Structure 1
Amino acid sequence: MAKIALGTSREATQPDCIKALVVEFITTFLFVFAGVGSAMAADKLAGGALLGLFAVAVAHALVVAVMISAGRISGGHLNPAVTLGLLVGGHITVFRSVLYWIDQLLASSVACILLKYLTGGLGTPVHTLAAGVGYLQGVVWEIVLTFSLLFTVYATIVDPKKGSIDGLGPLLTGFVVGANILAGGAFSGASMNPARSFGPALVSGDWTDHWVYWVGPLIGGALAGFIYENFFIVRSHHPIPTEEESY
């Protein structure tokens, strides 16, 4: 059974933590900038809804793969749900998780503010439930999609026995993000990421259905981290404690 490490406030002054927070900010900023930017471009240019959804899915898949790789110092979480899933699995302390969450939300907000400015005031598309999709359905969609994302992260990046897929984790994680957007984008929006939903909502001032994109992803991420860590990973010792931990 994985144990959750609380950590201490001293982590905030440790060089490795400061460096990780800077990298996490940069990679989350670039992820949201490309992801939201692709959605804005799809709204402006796409000839059909399916084409627009495909463009958004491909953009997210590519930027997730690259930013996870680029963010190896911080672990390239990009996502409060990923951080929570790794926290539940014992790979990051509670204190550092809170720092990461603040960092991710701030990066998302700055990215969306910049996008609004660079596009001459275009709206930042927010995640909302499609017509006919209820709150419970939306939450379940986000739970399942985020569970899929975190399960992939654990299987391809965290698990020490990755076998032949070792090194392909970021790319495979990007693929599952793209696939999930194609599957759920037309229904729940397929956020899988509270930070990705937070920036556009803040900049646009539209908080419609916003709570769904916290509840669903956080439950899905925590469940995946708990299940994979406690039932599928075999360790001779516990992975963590206080020093820098990435995936």
Structure 2
Amino acid sequence: MPIHRIAVGAPGEASHPTVIKAALAEFFSMIIFVFAGEGSGMAYNKLTNNGSSTPAGLVAASLSHAFALFVAVSVGANISGGHVNPAVTFGAFIGGHITLLRSFSYWIAQLLGSVVACLLLKFASGGMETSAFALSSGVSTWNALIFEIVMTFGLVYTVYATAVDPKKGDLGIIAPIAIGFIVGANILAGGAFDGASMNPAVSFGPAVVSWTWTNHWVYWVGPFIGAAIAAIIYDNIFICDGTHQPLPSNDF
């Protein structure tokens, strides 16, 4: 594990203009993502009388989240890196690609963005419920935890391969597409079991607005474990010390 590359950050980093701008980018990207993703489920329920749990509803959720994440990552990529996910930020921190102080700024912005998006949806829809993530019948918390670990591993591994790896070359231009695709595919794989969050912020917003916290810990612990495993494996096997690009510190 690249412990020597993990950095807390310089004093005053959290209030640096570039960090504030990056956090704002994460905030707005998260609003875009959650409003479209959560909103599509609400719209499908309205049109089909609560049919989002059907196969067609699952496909609709997969497509809407894939498209929305592609856009959300793209619009934030040049400012914040387009994490749009506390687990992705955690994975970047574990690999030494972002400091702890900057990570905290991102996490706060991401969580606030998700809550604001859900509040906007509730207001715009005339009070419709923003449903919190929940386990399907017959699915235990440990089953769901494994799903979240494996799905988030795939997501963060994809982020590392297409966006973080300094050897990616021109492949980096398709990073938002690849990231959106893996999230959409994972929703098809795990959506019927635990909702396929892979993103603590996406779970947090609906939970706050609906005030439903049953098994909520699964949607934090699973993604963070999966992100850490992906970061450690990719960083140690495929990004060696000789090619690793250190954090830019000249601004702080």
TM-score (norm 2): 0.92
In structure 2, what is the equivalent of residue 68 of structure 1? Answer: 73
In structure 2, what is the equivalent of residue 59 of structure 1? Answer: 64
Paired with 2:62 and 2:236, the residues of 1 have a C-alpha distance of 31
Structure 1, unaligned stretches of length 5 or more?
Answer: none
In structure 2, what is the equivalent of residue 17 of structure 1? Answer: 19
Q: Given that residues 7 and 242 in structure 1 are in contact (C-alpha distance below 8 angstroms), is that contact kept between their aligned partners in structure 2? A: no
Paired with 1:62 and 1:235, the residues of 2 have a C-alpha distance of 35
Task: Describe the shift of the 1:13–1:164 C-alpha distance in structure 2 as closer, same or farther (beyond 3 A).
Answer: closer
* Displacement of 1:142: 0.2
Q: How many residues align structurally? A: 245
Specify which of 93, 105, 108 is matched with residue 99 of structure 1. 105
Aligned pairs for 1:112-123 (under 5 A) are 112-123=118-129
Task: Describe the shift of the 1:74–1:164 C-alpha distance in structure 2 as closer, same or farther (beyond 3 A).
Answer: closer
Q: Given that residues 166 and 244 in structure 2 are in contact (C-alpha distance below 8 angstroms), is that contact kept between their aligned partners in structure 1? A: no
Q: Given that residues 166 and 245 in structure 2 are in contact (C-alpha distance below 8 angstroms), is that contact kept between their aligned partners in structure 1? A: no
In structure 1, what is the equivalent of residue 28 of structure 2? Answer: 26
* Displacement of 1:45: 1.9
One-letter amino acid matched to 1:225? A
Paired with 2:61 and 2:39, the residues of 1 have a C-alpha distance of 9
CA deviation digits over 1:37-96, x for unaligned, max 9?
111112222457111111111011011111111102011111110000000011000111
The more displaced of 63-72 and 233-242 is 233-242
Paired with 1:240 and 1:11, the residues of 2 have a C-alpha distance of 17
Paired with 2:18 and 2:140, the residues of 1 have a C-alpha distance of 43
One-letter amino acid matched to 2:137? A
In structure 2, what is the equivalent of residue 216 of structure 1? Answer: 222
Structure 2, unaligned stretches of length 5 or more?
Answer: none
CA deviation digits over 1:125-162, x for unaligned, max 9?
21111100001100000000000000011111111222
Paired with 1:216 and 1:59, the residues of 2 have a C-alpha distance of 23
Q: Given that residues 166 and 243 in structure 2 are in contact (C-alpha distance below 8 angstroms), is that contact kept between their aligned partners in structure 1? A: no
Task: Describe the shift of the 1:243–1:107 C-alpha distance in structure 2 as closer, same or farther (beyond 3 A).
Answer: farther
* Displacement of 1:166: 3.4
* Displacement of 1:234: 3.0
Paired with 1:208 and 1:63, the residues of 2 have a C-alpha distance of 27
Q: Given that residues 66 and 170 in structure 1 are in contact (C-alpha distance below 8 angstroms), is that contact kept between their aligned partners in structure 2? A: yes
Paired with 1:9 and 1:44, the residues of 2 have a C-alpha distance of 49
Paired with 1:42 and 1:85, the residues of 2 have a C-alpha distance of 33
Aligned pairs for 1:68-217 (under 5 A) are 68-72=73-77, 73-162=79-168, 165-217=171-223
CA deviation digits over 1:179-231, x for unaligned, max 9?
00011000011000000000001000111111110010110011111111111
Task: Describe the shift of the 1:242–1:11 C-alpha distance in structure 2 as closer, same or farther (beyond 3 A).
Answer: farther
One-letter amino acid matched to 2:29? T
CA deviation digits over 1:13-46, x for unaligned, max 9?
2111111111111101111111111111122224
Q: Percent identity?
A: 55
Q: Given that residues 139 and 216 in structure 1 are in contact (C-alpha distance below 8 angstroms), is that contact kept between their aligned partners in structure 2? A: yes
One-letter amino acid matched to 2:129? G
Q: Given that residues 19 and 105 in structure 2 are in contact (C-alpha distance below 8 angstroms), is that contact kept between their aligned partners in structure 1? A: no
Secondary structure of the corresponding residue to residue 173 of structure 2: coil
Paired with 1:31 and 1:225, the residues of 2 have a C-alpha distance of 23
Paired with 1:43 and 1:163, the residues of 2 have a C-alpha distance of 42
Q: Given that residues 162 and 168 in structure 2 are in contact (C-alpha distance below 8 angstroms), is that contact kept between their aligned partners in structure 1? A: yes
Give the aligned CA root-mean-square deviation in angstroms. Answer: 1.7
Q: Given that residues 145 and 222 in structure 2 are in contact (C-alpha distance below 8 angstroms), is that contact kept between their aligned partners in structure 1? A: yes
